Structure 1
Amino acid sequence: MPEHADTTLIDIAGHPVPVLKGGLYERYRSNPPLSVIHQQAPELDLSWFKGLQKTQVDMGFASYSPNFYYQNSRITAVYTADLERLRALMPAEVLAQVQPLQVWPGRGLVALTAYSYDYCDNDSYNEIALSIITNTPGKSNFGPFTLVGQSLSKDFWGYVLKLPVNTELARVRGVVGYNLPKWLTPINRREDTAAVTYDILDAQTGKLDVLMRGRKLQGLSDEPELVTNSFTNLDHQGRLAYGYATSRQTAHASSMSADAVELVLGDGSLAQYIRELQLGRMLKYEYVPAFQSALYAPKPLAALHADN
């Protein structure tokens, strides 16, 4: 939220939440007409969203699904991590359905992604996602072969470990509506001609905890690419659930070079948590300076099996 912005309090599932006064969320509660978006940002191509249908849902509060993200950017780094540690961090009920992908003995994979949602149904915010890469529920886990299959189909599955955000609106919606591990902390994005850097501050001390710096890669592809990222977790009643987001990437590039991304860990709680994963080799870095996305409300995992 812009510094010194005018805010107003709204109620979401009993939580008083400050939101941007006159912003999209205060006025439309996740259902703004595309004509309004076009008026406010005529430079954006909204054609993809015109083919998506919103429906009213109860997520612990009244909302609409999918939630639209009109203008966004991200950087992602995929690292190897200690496999037994990853398994220990997943609930037994989830582990019975999906497992971390083993890329070689004793090593699984985690993805660390820094997002900037510059213009979306929830106004704007930054987010850091730390996730275990898993197989698809109900499908076999063949380790690296499963990873290759997901990469080819652009259909990735994971279990979300940590998800700090920098607005209370994003935190409450994520915790109540998706049962995701979100908390509120300052996340600052800065960029220069060579790189994009995210500074994640510790919520308790206010000190810099994690720094993630990703290179601005050359040779960007401007061929639109659809990517789906899904997660499995437990809902507030302890039942298996899943959710997903489909993204339309309009500018993107990747690298396997170790110097494409820099990760600096401080002394706070998130940095210590990452250390305990025993990160190893960085396998892939993705630079996506422009994408749009649609985030769908979670459903019982049984619904996924029924559809398949």
Structure 2
Amino acid sequence: MKIRNLAATAGVILSTVLNPSWADGTSKSMQSESTTINLAGHQLPVVKGGLYDRYRSNPPLSVIEAEAPDIDLSWFRELKKERVDIGFESYSPNFYYKNSRVTAIFTADLDKLRELMPAQVLEKVQPLQVWPGRGLVALTAYAYHYCDNDSYNEIGLSVITNRPGSSSLGPLTLMSQAMSNDFWGYVLKLPVNTELARVRGVVGYNLPKWLTGINYRETDKSVIVEISDSETGKVDVTIEARKLDDLSNKVSMVTNSFTNVDQQGRLTTGYATSRQLSHASSTSAEAVNLSLTEGSLSTFIKSLKLGKMLKYEYVPEFQSALYSPRPL
């Protein structure tokens, strides 16, 4: 029981990217038109007149303030962007001004998790073993309502690991990460619903992204996320997560880092820092209902042999800064 409670303190591994249209209707009107740009040799559509079309990941904060005056930009004013070459010219960190997410942390088959991670990565990090034969995965649905890449939705499925160069002591490592709000993982799957997010993620961040339909919507009591199968177009995975009442408005800073392999075969690491403005958590198994079908992502999730959900995080409002990867 102690190990189970300790595991439940785990937070979210990797916020790297995510959406419905912007709340004030601005993005909705802009999304009626698109234009084509060239990014790293890929021809892809972006919102005509949107932030990315105009500023390529480097919009002045004065523009954000004018377009979305209700957003608190104080944190972003403290951060400095730098021009970087990540397979295309960009700026780091990438800013996410208004976002939402829900996360469920499950136990999973430890041998299967190791099997899915490249040998190079396993030399540096290991899945955390919370009890014999069981590791942890974090399943997160993100809605990026307003960011440097306009707006999009994303689903992250990540293995929770130790930090590179540190010992993997299972629950003790998990507790250390939870106490410092500094989490590490290896990303298994990261579907998105815009081509801009896909190309930037694959080319620039070495992440396993593909394009598919992701419907992120809310009712009075729940957040409902429907993930389509990219080949059939049918709903593949459905996440129904409860809106929690005991929300904290105390700002919480969380860092989520990942280790992976770039297109040259080199080990790299990247991270995102999130400023959580409204958040709550629960260990009740009834807080999240995960519905699987026979689709490709459902089949993959089934192969992980998920066990009991240990923790659920409901974060209706957060901001984030995603930093470009660097060699490990």
TM tier relative to shorter chain: over 0.9
Which runs of 5 or more residues in structure 1 are unaligned? 302-308
Determine the structure 2 residue equivalent to 1:16. Answer: 43
Aligned residues: 301
Determine the structure 2 residue equivalent to 1:113. Answer: 140
Shift of 1:248: 0.1
Determine the structure 2 residue equivalent to 1:215. Answer: 242
Letter in 1 for 2:164: P
Q: Does 1:280 align with 2:292?
A: no
CA deviation profile, 1:9-41 (whole Å, cap 9, x unmatched): 000000001000000000000000000000000
Counterpart of 1:48 (choices 75, 86, 93) is 75
Q: Does 1:294 align with 2:321?
A: yes
Determine the structure 2 residue equivalent to 1:261. Answer: 288
Q: Does 1:103 align with 2:130?
A: yes
Q: Does 1:169 align with 2:199?
A: no
Q: Does 1:35 align with 2:57?
A: no
Shift of 1:151: 0.6
Q: Which has the higher contact order (CA 8 A, sep 6+)?
A: 2
Provide the C-alpha distance between the structure 1 equivalents of 2:141 and 2:239, rounded to a whole number of angstroms.
8
Provide the C-alpha distance between the structure 2 equivalents of 1:5 and 1:139, rounded to a whole number of angstroms.
49
1:151-190 matches, cutoff 5 A? 151-190=178-217
Provide the C-alpha distance between the structure 2 equivalents of 1:214 and 1:294, rounded to a whole number of angstroms.
25
Determine the structure 2 residue equivalent to 1:306. Answer: none
Shift of 1:138: 0.3
Counterpart of 1:130 (choices 140, 157, 164) is 157
CA deviation profile, 1:58-79 (whole Å, cap 9, x unmatched): 0000000000000000000000
TM-score using structure 1 length? 0.97
Which runs of 5 or more residues in structure 2 are unaligned? 1-20, 22-27
Provide the C-alpha distance between the structure 1 equivalents of 2:174 and 2:292, rounded to a whole number of angstroms.
27
Structure 1 residue runs of 4+, over 6 Å off?
Answer: none
Provide the C-alpha distance between the structure 2 equivalents of 1:289 and 1:231, rounded to a whole number of angstroms.
23
Provide the C-alpha distance between the structure 2 equivalents of 1:210 and 1:5, rounded to a whole number of angstroms.
28
Shift of 1:189: 1.1
Determine the structure 1 residue equivalent to 2:6. Answer: none
CA deviation profile, 1:115-139 (whole Å, cap 9, x unmatched): 0000000000000000000000001
RMSD between aligned alpha carbons?
A: 0.9
Shift of 1:174: 0.1
TM-score using structure 2 length? 0.91
The secondary structure found in structure 1 opposite 2:69 is: coil
Shift of 1:190: 1.4
Q: Does 1:231 align with 2:258?
A: yes
Shift of 1:5: 1.8
